[in-house]
Amino acid sequence: MEGQTDLSTEIAGIELANPLMLASGIMDETGHSMANAVRHGAGSVVTKSLSMEPREGHPNPVVYEMDIGMINAMGLPNPGVEAYAEEISSFRKKAGDTPIFASIFGSSIDEYAHAASKAEQLGVDGIEINGSCPNAKGLGLQFGQSPGVIGDLVSAVRSAVTIPVLFKLTPVTDDIVKLALAAQEGGAHALVAINTMKVIKLDIRTKRPILTNGFGGLSGPALKPIGVRCVYEICSDERMEIPVIGVGGISTAEDAIEYMMAGASAVQIGTAVRWQGPSVFEEINEGISSFMEEMGYSSIKELIGAALEDGE
Ligand code: DHB
């Protein structure tokens, strides 16, 4: 199925059988659903965003779907990091040692650090800091838009854990490279670019926003050129030393390859998994292999950064 091509890649010393990761917030409610993504070809998974205390999230409606993408404002619902322990152990039973990253958030830097430390105790392989949820007051963008806060947040989480720390960047900024460098300086082992874009959808009959939260996060196809541009800008900067994981609007092998050529060492898929089901992982892995065979690439590592000036 995958011929002679080597799809393996590496993030922060963690070996991934292929570059496809399940993005946070999609089909990651349970160990079973995350293991199902792996069964269908995901090389690793990210949990839903977890906090120290359980959260109910916003009342419905929380999702608005369009052809060009999806807007959501769930409000970070989760059972709390400790209650999620059984999902991690059920994932391990079903998916063995396939890498699993815990997405974490909090209402203060201390809370982020505490949640990360609890997540490490559950046996995850790495932490993904969600410093950029566009829809929960006091829990999101104010952490992810200031280079100073990002540096402090990442270094607090680094000190609280021994496993690799990934920082997920927001596209809601005038300078994503500045944010990326702040995360690197704070000690991040890798970056994830990008989180959803803050948007709004109005109902012209009620003259009010459709989602209860008002604003929401845009994901899906409309986000792809923005995500590719962000990865390209970050990876073009000669001060960047850590790997970048690309995310935003990937639904085909071509999309994944484009992100990797812009510099991404791996990619995450969310909305396409929701829309097409987890078989999208198999489809994309096969598409990447065929492209590599057709173009004479033997390892995925040859694709990473190939579009950058000093790429191959
Ligand atoms: C939510 C969180 C996010 O990080 C995001 O990008 C979109 C939505 C949420 O739970 O509301």
Query: What pLDDT digit, counting tens, does each position of 135-189 carry?
Result: 777 777 878 999 999 999 999 999 999 999 999 999 999 999 999 999 999 999 9
| Complete edge-to-edge strand list for the sheet that includes strand 215-219 | 63-66, 69-72, 215-219, 197-200
Instruction: List the residue whose alpha carbon is closest to atom 5 of ligand 1.
Output: 133
Phi then psi dihedrals of residue 239, to 5 deg = -80, -15
Maximum distance among all Cα pairs of the chain, rounded to whole angstroms: 57
Cα 222 from Cα 53, distance rounded (Å): 33
The reported pLDDT for the residue numbered 208 is 98
Mutate-to-test residue for ligand 1 from 133, 169, 198, 223, highest number of ligand atoms within 8 A of CB: 133
- Residues 6 or more apart whose Cβ sits within 8 Å of residue 69: 218, 219, 220, 221, 222, 223, 249, 271
Q: How far is CA 117 from the centre of its chain?
A: 19
Q: Where are the domains of the chain?
A: 9-56+76-195+220-302
- Report how far residue 305's alpha carbon sits from residue 312's, in angstroms, rounded to the nearest whole number: 8
Split at pLDDT 50, 70, 90, the class of 126 is very high
Tell me the pLDDT band of 310, cut-offs 50, 70 and 90: low
Q: Quick one: angle between helices 85-95 and 31-39, nearest 10?
A: 30
Location of structure tokens 């704070």: 186
Test site for ligand 1: of 196, 211, 215, most ligand atoms within 8 A of the Cβ: 196
Query: Within 13 Å, how many C-alpha atoms sit on residue 168's CB side?
Result: 28
Contact 6, 29 (CB under 8 A): no
230 classed as catalytic: no
167, 131 Cβ separation under 8 angstroms:
yes
The pocket around ligand 1, CB under 6 angstroms, is made up of 72-76, 130, 133-136, 195-196, 217
Instruction: Give the pLDDT confidence score for residue 3 in this predicted structure.
Output: 55
pLDDT, tens digit (0-9, with 9 covering 90-100), for 226-264: 999 999 999 999 999 999 999 999 999 999 999 999 999
Ligand 1 atom 8: residue of nearest CA: 73
Encode pLDDT of 36-74 as tens digits.
999 999 999 999 999 999 999 999 999 999 999 999 999
**CB contact set of 238 (below 8 Å; sequence gap of 6+):** none
Which one of 3.20.20.480, 3.40.50.300, 3.20.20.70, 3.40.50.150 gives the CATH number of domain 9-56+76-195+220-302?
Answer: 3.20.20.70
Question: Contact, 84 vs 122, CB < 8 A?
Answer: yes
Residue whose CA lies nearest to ligand 1 atom number 7: 217
In angstroms, rounded to a whole number, what is the distance separating the alpha carbons of residues 298 and 45? Answer: 25
- Residue 215: how many other CB atoms lie within 10 Å: 15
Q: Are 133 and 195 in contact (CB under 8 A)?
A: yes
Do 240 and 234 form a contact (C-beta atoms < 8 A)? Answer: yes
